[in-house]
Structure 1
Amino acid sequence: MACLETKPQMYSTWWSKMMKNPLKIDSSEPQNNDGKMNAEIDSPSAERVDVKEAEKKISSLKNLLKRDPQAADFKWSLFIAACHTYRHDSCLKPFPPMYTKNETRDIEALREAIEVIPPLAIMYERLEDPKAYENHKSTIDLLYWVLITLRDPHIKSVNKNLYETILNKVPSELSAVKPNLIFQVVSPNQSTKEERWKATTQSHSTFFAYHGSRLENFHSIVHYGIQQHMSKNGIFGTGIYLSSELGVSLRWSPVGYGWGGSMLGSEISCIALCELVNHPDVKKGDSDDANNSVRMAIGKKIPNKYYLAINSDLVRVRYLLVYSQDFGISRRTQSNGLVGWFKQNKFLTLVLGYVVLLVSVGLTNNKNVEKYYKFLIQKIGLD
């Protein structure tokens, strides 16, 4: 696996090569490998490879990695984050069926499998090998399931020119840090959820708001939406909490560890930009309408700039806002040497500065140092 420091160059080379060479799918039947297994093959039995199925998976993965590598990388990072959390029973939904035996989830086998999967740029190069499926079957099967099979809904990158338009969907009064990337969550028009949503919005208007959550929750959120029963009970009642201020939701989205091989960086945070139905079950804070506010038995009312949806069917995730310190760093910034190192190691810089200060104070109070200093000044003056 390539070191994180060399990823920008690695992805630049990969992207240039993809743009120069058209996709070529080798249709020849994979040959036997003389009984030798690659380190990534963990299939328990030597199954006969279905050539057409193998070609389909390889072709689909290559097309996706060429068309939208950022979205594929991000979706894989969300899956990895859900795999590594201790709450995988609730976060890792849906769960890959190839790691389920007798209705028991083999999370340890899954974690071992993802450990050997290289950055997607390297994986793209391996897919060019005529024996790719034979040598990397388990890896290809898992990537295909996460990135291709789970396509309802699917994630796609948003052009940077549209970022401001998307953020303006929520009229905010407070300033907040802008995301590095924005991805759109797209559902097929013919899906049951989308049809049910359209039926509801025929009699009600909609509006947008932000929802913050931990990184490991977003694999499930993308595929099942924000579920009311998954949300913690807040002081204003049970439901899905949202806000009209990006800065408010950012507090609920701490930086999480995704995937070490990600082109976006291993540490990222995520905010969901949701569309809500203007319905009585979506309670608005600081409202003059008594029917559209929540007052608990303890007498507390939802504060201004907050929303509480007590029905998860009234909330749809439309965009995902991603924050990453590693992504978007130019080569010039990386090559700034000492200055760049200080910026990336602020705490250590502070400690070193404190040590230098202590040493300086100690030296100024040292008589020998003072004597030598005076001697040096006199010598310079004479010269």
Structure 2
Amino acid sequence: MSINTEESSVESSSLNDTNNLPMEDEQAIVQLTRKVKILGSMLRRDLLALDIKWTLFVAASKNYRYEELLKPYPPQFFIEPEGVDIDRLLLVINLTPNLICLLNDINQENYNQCDMEVIDLLTWVLIDNKQPVFQSITIDAFAYYMHNIVQNINIKKPDHIFEIIYDKSDKVEQVFRSRGEVYGFKFSYCGYKAEYLYSVFHNSFYNCGVLPDILSAANTYLHFTSEIAVSLVHSPPTPCWGKSQCGSVLRCVLLCEFINMPQYVKSQIDVIKEYSYLDIYINRGDIVRPRFMLVYDDDKLWEEEQSVEEDVKADIEESTWFSRNRFGVLAGLCCFGIFIFNVFHKKGCGGVIRRFKCLRGKHFFKSL
């Protein structure tokens, strides 16, 4: 109802501003203003969630395998028989402003700052392309799931966490839930390049060949682990969208729910140094569904790692002098301890001083 009210008010205001324009231009402006208003209401609701959804789309578009990763693709950029007009698509992506700036223009009704092709593309990616829904959540809200999978290896908290929500009426989701009631569900982590995630979220894990970097040596299994730190290794820093609020270079880890069907799920215990964790291999894509996405800004992650390295280096440097001189220090402490003992257990310290003057060092120690 609120959207319809907004649309009617937008139409009337647009018509008042465009009385002198040709009919086609007037209709285009009214349509553009309607889309801008609806987009603005979505941005006010959860800008960060729309930002990451758009960012993953941009990452897939910029990959050389865009024809495989852009599924679904925006129909207005598809040309028969060539396929996706990637040059034109990238041009529109480059024209897309920071979403905060876009929202400011919408709030101030600076619609002349909004490019029609940019608004059309944003509308298709963020609104028309409904499934799945992204929702930003706090670390506290996610803590329940983290407690269910005990972490043995310390890892930095993610910069952002998003819940991935599929409609309950979705047929794939319904089949997944009903099948899982028989075998039971489990959760596990996996790391991906951000450029693959657009395809994963829209096509699930059916086409395992799209994800060669995370498959096992047999090239038939999807690889999951019980540790975020291990999964993060499988998510190399990926340049995404330079205007994103989440960061320009991202690393992503998914928390996935899978059906524990023993004929398709294999696991083994692995060890890194003194830490043990569980490796899980699944060779059937339709028994896995992504539920949460942990996003790390690689610049912040790198800075923290550098800070830790510098702290460790400082600790090592502080301990180096003692390591080189520990025998001399210990010998000096022993002598000082003997001296103090002699002072308090002899009658005054005069005898000690006189003996020190009269005797050589080795005889002095023998006499104590």
Q: Same fold (TM over 0.5)?
A: yes
Matching residue's letter, 2:264:
V
Distance change in 2, residues 1:266/1:208 (3 Å):
same
Partner of 2:280: 307
Corresponding position of 1:7: none
Distance 1:191 1:55, change over 3 A: farther
Partner SS, residue 161 of structure 2: strand
Contact 2:135 / 2:162 at 8 angstroms: preserved in 1?
yes
The gaps in structure 1 that reach 5 residues or longer are: 1-22, 36-45, 288-302, 329-339, 348-383
Alignment CA distance shift 1:306-1:236 (3 Å)? farther
Distance in 1, matches of 2:53 and 2:115, equals: 20
Deviation, 1:139, is 0.9
Identify the residue that residue 26 of structure 1 maps to in structure 2. Answer: 10
Q: 2:58 aligns with which of 80, 97, 100?
A: 80
- The amino acid of 1:142's aligned partner reads L
Deviation at 1:107, TM superposition (A): 0.2
Compute the displacement of 1:50 (Å): 5.3
Match of 2:77 among 94, 99, 102: 99
| Amino acid in the other structure paired with 1:97 | P
TM-score by length of 2: 0.70
> Quick one: distance in 1 between partners of 2:200 and 2:178?
22
User: Residues of 2 paired with 1:325 and 1:231: CA distance?
Assistant: 21
**1:84-233 paired onto structure 2 within 5 Å:** 84-103=62-81, 104-128=83-107, 132=111, 136-227=115-206, 228-232=208-212, 233=215
**1:324-347 superposed Cα distances (whole Å, 9 cap, x missing partner):** 15679xxxxxxxxxxx9xx79x99
Quick one: distance in 2 between partners of 1:163 and 1:197?
Answer: 22
- Root mean square deviation of aligned Cα: 3.1
Unmatched tracts of structure 2, length 5 or more: 1-5, 270-275, 311-368
Q: Which moved more, 1:51-60 or 1:269-278?
A: 51-60
Give the Cα–Cα distance (whole angstroms) in 2 for the partners of residues 174 and 135 of structure 1.
47
| Higher Rg | 2
**Number of residues of Structure 1 aligned to a counterpart in Structure 2:** 287
Q: 1:32 to 1:105 in 2, by over 3 A?
A: farther
Q: Distance in 1 between matches of 2:55 and 2:41?
A: 19
1:191 CA drift (Å): 0.7
Moved more, 267-276 or 96-105: 96-105
User: Which residue in 2 is equivalent to 1:258?
Assistant: 240
In structure 1, distance between residues paired with 2:133 and 2:65: 24
For residue 281 of structure 1, report the CA deviation from its aligned partner. 3.7
Q: Identity percentage over the alignment?
A: 27
Instruction: Determine if contact 2:151/2:228 at 8 Å carries over to the other structure.
Output: yes
Distance 1:56 1:106 in 2: 26
Normalised by the length of structure 1, the TM-score is 0.67
Counterpart residue number, 1:278: 260
CA spacing shift, 1:229–1:49, aligned 2, 3 Å: same
When residues 133 and 126 of structure 1 are mapped into structure 2, their CA distance, relative to the original with a 3 A threshold, is same
Shift of 1:135: 5.1
| Contact residue 69 and residue 210 of structure 2 kept, 8 A | no
Offset of residue 160 of structure 1? 3.1
More helix by share: 2
| 1:285/1:252 CA distance change after superposition, 3 Å | same
